[in-house]
Structure 1
Amino acid sequence: MRSISRKFQVSFIAAVFAIAGLASCSKDNQAEVIVPQIVSPGLKNGNDTIFIGDSRVLSPQLAEVKDPTFLWLVNGVQVSTDSTYTFTATAKGDYTISYKIISGNALATFFYRIKVLGKFENGFFLVNEGWFGHGPGDVNFYRNGEDSVYQDVFQRTNPGKTLGTTTDYGAIYNNKMYLVSKQGAFVVADPGTMKETGRIDQLPAAGNSFCGINNSTGLIGTADGVYPVNLQTLAVGSKLAGVTGQVGGIIKAEAYVLVMSQSQGIVALNNTDLSVAKVLGPADVGFTRTPDGTVWAARDNMLFAINANSLKMDTVTVPFPVYGSWGAWNAGMLSASTIENAVFIGKTNSWGAGGREVYKYAAGNPNSLNTPFVTIPDGREMYGAGVRYNPGNNTIVITDVKSGYGDNYKNNTLYIYDASNGGLKKSVNFTGFFFPAMPLFN
């Protein structure tokens, strides 16, 4: 049996059987058995991984065939008696397609193995603000290993529907995607299909962020505090007491929910009743979490390490200012590895964007901040919360635009760097006034 690529993690089985009893025999006269040959299965040795909506034509090349009849079965259910079969993927799953050819008094069989992924699996999303004054936000999609970006996949999947204006935040929680815009709709979609599953037409204040708390409750950070939302009905509750001003990042950690307030700094809420447990002090950028449970935030030349159990906060000095972006809020360029206690920090200008350098702070090693981990090319600048760690393949994803103004902003590049050594793995150019807000991983 020949070796098959690990990509599919499956093997095909081909077997040929003589059919007994189909021809009478005698001592002097025995019928000749002509066994049909499957010369080639016609599909990557019988294996493939495709996406919902894709099709594959299965057309084996044959030899030694006489008056054949055919039979096709998908997971044991008969689907065709033609010589070829077109398999169309309508649902996720693993499929075994059995092909049988009867020729004369002999039978040959082959088994195809096809894995079907969701249309928006095996890749990641790019949430986009959209071009203010010209159109709403939307979502692009990058499929791993390809050299292009699928554009505006929300509108293309949901004709006649749009996101709100300036879509600056996305989160995936309990297999649902939550998309937050500063004006207009708060939208929920299926991350596998991008089909809209619910929306709130208008939030009580300009939306900034979202955090899932449990199966029934989420929190929405706005320009005027934090609002709970029922995740089953999408009914918005009353603003939480004790949290004032504009709210940016929110993260659930152990017994607490940490909230970033422009006026108060980091506010710790009890995750049982969402009452204020403690105000930890000023900060501008956050949050992210390393595998040891530490929650990270930043302000000026300080990186804050917060113990999620005790709320004790330690400070690490950073050799450059880590700017927030309260004036035109975005989620910030702070993102943590999921396999090592390391935080990636995008060095931005004073309004929380721009810049070309990303630093990697290895917890406990201040020398790790002496030199940039990654530097994007000259003439480019990072935009929005355009530095994010991808836990699916241990990479750093960076979005940027061409430096300058006007038409430069339609010149986008997506970079993928190795999160262990900083090596560039892929760069993809694409065009459009997207104004990328943040990468988002399923």
Structure 2
Amino acid sequence: MRSITRKFQLSFIVAVLAIAGLASCSKDNQGEVVVPQITAPGLKNGADTIYVGDSRVLSPTLADVKNPTFQWLVNGVEVSTDSIYTFTATERGNYTISYKVISGNSMALYYYRIKVEGKFENGFFLINEGWYTHEPGDVNFYRNGEDSVYQYVFQRNNPGKTLGTTTEYGAFFNNKLYLVSKQGAFVVADAATMKETGRIDQLPQNGNAFCGINNSTGLISTLDGIYPVNLQTLTVGAKLPGIDGQVGAMQKTSSYIFALTQNDGIVALNQDFSIAQKIGAADIGFAVTPDGTVWAGSGNKLLGINPQNLKIDTVTLPFNVYDTWGYWNAGMLSASTTENAVFIGKSEAWGSGGQQIYKYSVGNPASLQAPFITLPAGTEFYGAGFRNNPNNNTLITLSMKSGYGDNSKQNTLNIYDATSGALKKSVNYVGFFFPAIPAFN
């Protein structure tokens, strides 16, 4: 059984009650009172954390009972009078399940505590391109602490619906997962259930990435420019003026919205989407460190952009950064959320592949002298390769067995400590998924 996490500290009460006046041994009573005993609750410590759709059978072990009757209440509402009760989680929340056994003139009580989390609440998602010409894109899910990957969770929770072709990007915004495919539908799903909440069947151009702006507006980058999308009605507006050609990653800050474009490099947009400044060439972007600096990469340089005045500091890398425009993906660049540090992958010439992640501790060029993480032999990055998990300070890497053909269905999810680089967990799973990018809520 799962242990209780997230500071879910509980206390449990076993109460034995004797009916007043019947516990004495006076001549007119009907015999000695025998108090029923709950010797084991049938659930470790009487508590558990489970997920929507899960069940737990509550079967207390009893002693000293004769002709007992039973009562089960969930949050104060009677649900059963059987000796055993099966609790099935249908909604998220904290549940108190009270159990009463009455035997003769006495009864015993026990209180269970069960926390129900959303099916996809305690973990993260793996966005997959899909197997081109064979399968559309889809989403896998990893639940923290487990040893397997839940596969095809979008299709399984949306029978008859699929994502588009080559689903290269997914991002959470306001508890919804926005999924962008290069061809076909732009899809929105609820973070807790993965149920689809809306879709745009076809974008004006092939899609690349999504950036949430506010409760009503987002931006979609495409093969030709950037388009605003109304998040309430899921309708696409006119292309933003002044930006043509392929656009990849986008990053919102309090002052500007940064866009990585193939024609003009990094473009800073004002909050009204007008162009504030074309900053210069870059090959991959973006990542934001806790000090607010926006990071991109170009050639053998790591670029740190001041989000207020748009000035750039450069750091020399021990390798060249390759662009991803030919087969666009979000790029192997991420930032820590606990320290001012940037993680950048050493990719192959086509913008993916490779085995090494370097960690630049801001202000310390010596931190780039050696790789921070090297994947296990015989594996290599695919797609955006890795991302920092802001929920627990880990680096999540997505890799496949090196080579082609059937090697491509041998996937490995690695979880590394983002401070030390130590490997914490490695999970293998099989399928022609072609992983694109991890996504965290």
Q: Is residue 20 of structure 2 the alignment partner of residue 20 of structure 1?
A: yes
Deviation per CA, 1:251-302, whole angstroms, max 9, x where unpaired?
101121111101001111111x111111111111111111111111111111
Q: Deviations over 1:204-242 (max 9, x none)?
A: 001000000000000000000000000000010000012
Alignment of 1:261-280 (within 5 A): 261-271=261-271, 273-280=272-279
Cα distance in 1 for partners of 2:33, 2:298 equals: 81
Distance in 1 separating the partners of 2:5 and 2:133: 49
Quote the Cα distance in structure 1 between the aligned partners of 2:17 and 2:6. 29
Note the C-alpha offset of 1:439.
Answer: 0.7
User: Residues 122-201 of structure 1 correspond to what in structure 2 (within 5 A)?
Assistant: 122-201=122-201
How do residues 35-434 of structure 1 correspond to structure 2 at under 5 angstroms?
A: 35-271=35-271, 273-434=272-433
Q: Quick check: 1:38–1:63 contact (8 Å CA) kept in 2?
A: yes
Q: Do 1:24 and 1:30's aligned partners in 2 also have CA atoms closer than 8 Å?
A: no
Deviations 1:26-45 (A, max 9, x none): 47757422111100001111
Aligned equivalents of 2:110, 2:69: Cα separation in 1: 14
Instruction: Indicate if the aligned counterparts of 2:379 and 2:401 stay in contact, CA closer than 8 A.
Output: yes
Residue 104 of structure 1 and its aligned partner are, at CA, apart by: 1.0
The 3 A distance-change label for structure 1 pair 5 and 433 is closer
The answer as to whether partners of 1:208 and 1:223 remain within 8 angstroms in 2 is yes
Q: Normalization by structure 1: what TM-score?
A: 0.97
1:316, distance to aligned residue in structure 2 (A): 1.0
| Deviation of 1:58 (Å) | 0.4
RMSD (CA atoms): 1.6
Residue identity matched to 1:179: L
Taking the aligned partners of 1:128 and 1:4, their CA distance within structure 2 comes to 31
State the AA in 1 paired with 2:218. G
Q: What runs of 5+ residues in structure 2 fail to find an aligned partner?
A: none
1:11 deviates by 2.5
Give the AA of the match of 2:106: A
User: Could you say if the C-alpha distance between residues 4 and 89 of structure 1 is closer, same or farther in structure 2, counting changes exceeding 3 Å?
Assistant: closer
- Residue 141 of structure 1 and its aligned partner are, at CA, apart by 0.6
Aligned pair in 2 of structure 1 residues 130, 6: CA closer, same or farther (>3 Å)? closer
Stretches of structure 1 that go unaligned for 5 or more consecutive residues are: none
Confirm or deny: 8 A CA contact 1:379 1:402 kept in the other structure: yes
Structure 1's 170 and 410: CA in aligned 2 closer, same or farther, altered over 3 A? Answer: same
Q: How many residues align?
A: 439
Distance in 1 separating the partners of 2:28 and 2:253: 84
CA contact (8 A) 1:52 1:91 kept: yes
Query: Which TM-score applies when normalising by structure 2?
Result: 0.97
**The residue matched to 1:188 in structure 2 has which SS?**
strand
**Contact kept in structure 1, 2:138 and 2:152, CA below 8 Å:** yes
For 1:114 and 1:425, the matched residues in 2 are separated by: 28
Task: Give CA deviations for 1:385-414 in whole Å, capped at 9, x if unaligned.
Answer: 011101111111001111111111111111
What CA distance in whole angstroms lies between the structure 2 residues aligned with 1:4 and 1:197? 31
Percent identity over paired residues: 72
Q: State the Cα distance separating 1:10 from its structure 2 match.
A: 1.9
CA offset at residue 72 of structure 1?
0.7
In the TM superposition, what is the alpha-carbon distance from 1:346 to its structure 2 partner?
A: 1.1
Partners of 1:8 and 1:48 within 8 A in 2: no
Contact 1:298 1:322 in 2 (8 A): yes
